[in-house]
Structure 1
Amino acid sequence: MIENSIIESNASATSSSVDNIVLALDGESIILKNPSISAEYDLPDEDQSGQSSSTNSSEKGIKPKKLNISGLIEYSTPDRLSRLIELSYQTENGGAKKLYRVANATANVINLREAVFSGKVSVSPHSTLLAWQISFTLSERKSVPEKRETRARERAQENGDETVDAVGEEMPEETAEKEERSWFEENILAPVNDALG
């Protein structure tokens, strides 16, 4: 009991330095103590060499990126835990999992913009602190490769191409460039550039 009181008083004394807002979902801050966030994604392929020494392999698509998040929520702030659980259960109108805009430095670096809660959400009492140890995973949706594949398939169907699955994942450079242009570049600079030749 004494140990817990000491831990609690120490935690409250250093609260401002330990509470970290490192993640926001749709602009709502997820406040954790001692947060840990890691990213992972798979680039699966299949060996095509058979019995030979060839290094040929077939790609099996770029899989969704994932953010693994863990941290502590103190017993004194149960509303934070309740809200996190509530967010994990949110659904869209059609019943699908709620898609969140993700704001986080690691997510930004790996270009993960939108994600859903995925897999297991774990909540357990910490062994020595007056806090819950929580962990959860956010899995990417509507990734850039996925959007490219979808557009490539739609173009193939519009052109009457029956071999839709054979369409490459790469977007034509012109389309990719157009996507990356801002409104200013698209509507002001591009016409001026074309006029100047």
Structure 2
Amino acid sequence: MIENSIIESNASDASSRVDNIVLALDGESIILKNPSISAEYDLPDEDQSGQSSSTNSSEQGIKPKKLNISGLIEYSTPDHLSRLIELSYQTDRGGAKKLYRIANSTANVINLREGVFSGKISIAPHSTLLAWQISFTLSERKSVPEKREARAQQRAQENGEQTVDAVGEEMPEEKSETEERTWFEENVLAPINDMLG
């Protein structure tokens, strides 16, 4: 017998529906049941000690942050899955992957503001529920370190320099979080975040 009691929501319980909206891309909510969202990023370095006990290492740059998302989409709402697939295939005018503005509390904490779909997108029927188990990754684009490197390289070219050993310039202060919030972040995510403390 297929269990569906966990995934069915009570129509009168509005709060349970709101709790499922934990992610938005360009202000469009991605509705998942039992969502799980985690962040990861690498700060790679290479050991320079050779055979000695030295702890010297060389930095390999700051790699893009990633947001890993998984959850369930019910069979009764196939349009939610179809829309997610459409979003993953979107491109800009130049044919590159579409860059989405990300609204999510975990993404906000690690300052991941914009990203693209990357890697594998997994869609499989759940073993016991009337739903698809889905998972996908959003990878950062236009990160602060990347912008700093680009500006330093541009300055070096303007000054006739061949290489830049260090990036010393700080980016201008970004607008405050309240100025950059979308309507969805301000009116849906912020009140939920305040309630959760």
TM-score scaled by length of structure 2: 0.82
Change (3 A) 1:116 1:33: same
Number of aligned pairs?
A: 173
Pairing 1:13–2:10 present? yes
Instruction: Give 1:180's aligned amino acid.
Output: E
What is the SS of the residue equivalent to 2:157?
A: helix
Aligned position for 1:171: 169
Scaled by the length of structure 1, what TM-score is found?
A: 0.82
SS at structure 1 position matched to 2:61: coil
1:85-122 per-position Cα deviation (integer Å, ceiling 9, x unaligned):
00000011111101000010000110001100000000
The percentage of counterpart residues that share the same residue type is 78
User: Which has the larger helix fraction?
Assistant: 1
1:190 counterpart residue number: none
Q: 2:173 aligns with which of 165, 169, 180?
A: 180
Cα gap change, 1:63 to 1:10, in 2 (>3 Å): closer
One-letter amino acid matched to 2:106: T
Q: Which runs of 5+ in 1 are unaligned?
A: 184-197
Between the aligned partners of 2:109 and 2:163, the Cα distance in structure 1 is 35
The structure that has the greater radius of gyration is 1
What is the CA–CA distance in structure 2 between the aligned matches of 1:181 and 1:136, rounded to whole Å?
29
With CA pairs under 8 Å and 6+ residues apart, which has the higher RCO, 1 or 2?
A: 2
Q: Secondary structure of 1:108's match? A: helix
d(CA) in 1 for partners of 2:175 and 2:23?
Answer: 27
How much has 1:158 moved relative to structure 2? 1.0
Deviation at 1:159, TM superposition (A): 1.2
- Compute the displacement of 1:8 (Å): 4.9
- Pairing 1:57–2:85 present: no
1:42 touches 1:62 (CA, 8 Å); kept in 2? yes
Aligned residue number for residue 96 of structure 1:
96
Q: 1:148 and 1:56 mapped to 2: Cα distance?
A: 25
